[in-house]
Amino acid sequence: MRHLLLLISWLFCMVTWSNCAPLDSCSRVDSCSKCVNSTDGFGYRCQWCSTSNSCASEQTTTNNCHVDDSTLHEYNCPMDVSNVKYDESFMRETTTCFAYSAYLKDRNAMVLVFRGTTTLFQLIDEGISFFLHPKVQFNVTKGVVDGYYLNAFYSLWEKGIQKDVEKILNEKQDVKMWFFGHSLGGGLASIASSYVAKTYGIEGSRTKLVTFGMPRVGDIDLAEAHDELVPDSWRIEHSKDPIPALPPRTFPDEIDKGSFHHNTEIWYPQGMALGANFKIGSAPDTTVGRSVFPFNIEDHFTYFNVYLESWYLKGCNKENVAP
């Protein structure tokens, strides 16, 4: 029946020589939230393009809107970031040598840190999981997550992290929970932050997540659930680091399907020396994929002018960091 209506509409347009495509009802919508909750005259969903600030039917292919700028979901609508409070000095201080878990007495904060990929074979395993294996249900919130990351988290959790977390939560009143990670470790830190916050009922004001060069590890439902549990989240990305763009947001083939980032993106387009400019992403999953091409893998291993793969060999000395 729908195809018959489309044929009738096309014939009418040919006869009247008028521009009466079925997306007209979408094009009259002037805001993202209204757009993604609307349909065109034939029941297809409307999609919002943040580049042109316009609405169109999901059946429409437009040349002036990159696929990463289109959304069918209100969660990824552009937002006003003028009042977002990004504490850059805190982020620079966190580039340090914490290992696994620690308790900061002066901050009343427990810190959980997850390291990144260590071998080529591990990187290959991650890639195989990203592109060939279906995601699995995350058992504490809505949404799905990459099975490689979830299995890795549970392995670490059961080997000692759970015991450390529960000990601190039992001994320290109103303790804050801070999670950090680079690359693979960023994905693990993200999963850990949602898991701990949900499992132990820790309010958002006591949690913080900071990741560096983190890939996409879950879908849009998981991202939305994460932001409700851990609102103080920061995905820091260095210039042409390619890893945050993987796997592609639209994989396998539809907008808002497949992999998706949660808030909040902080992108340094021209290096990360003290005083370098940065941009705050205007939506949870923004356009980092375009920003990095052609990519530079060295940017993935260097954050705030620290080469993470060898810095620990120098004792994590701040004096070894270029200004």
Domain boundaries, the chain: 24-78, 88-314
pTM of the predicted model, to two decimals?
0.80
Cβ atoms 322, 305 nearer than 8 A: yes
Between 59 and 271, name the one with better pLDDT: 271
- Residue 279 tokens read as 């941009």
Q: In whole angstroms, what is the distance from residue 308 CA to residue 135 CA?
A: 29
| CATH 1.10.20 given to domain 24-78 | no
Of 28-37, 72-81, 253-262, minimum mean pLDDT range: 253-262
pLDDT at 69 over 70: yes
Of 269, 285, 213, which is closest to residue 244 (Cα–Cα)?
A: 213
Give me the pLDDT at residue 66, please: 74
Give me the pLDDT at residue 321, please: 46
Give me the pLDDT at residue 316, please: 58
Q: In whole angstroms, what is the distance from residue 168 CA to residue 120 CA?
A: 35
| Alpha-carbon separation of residue 52 from 30, 31, 48, 65 (angstroms) | 11, 11, 9, 7
Alpha-carbon torsion (156, 113, 111, 313), positive or negative: positive
Question: Average of pLDDT values for 271-281?
Answer: 91
- The alpha-helical segments, DSSP class H, found in the chain are 2-16, 24-27, 32-35, 88-93, 120-132, 147-156, 162-171, 184-199, 220-229, 288-291, 298-301, 308-311
Of 27-41, 188-202, 270-284, 285-299, minimum mean pLDDT range: 285-299
Tell me what the pLDDT averaged over the chain comes to: 80
Superfamily in which the 88-314 domain is placed by CATH: Alpha/Beta hydrolase fold, catalytic domain (3.40.50.1820)
Looking at residue 299, its amino acid is D
Looking at the chain, the whole-number percentage of residues with pLDDT higher than 70 is 74
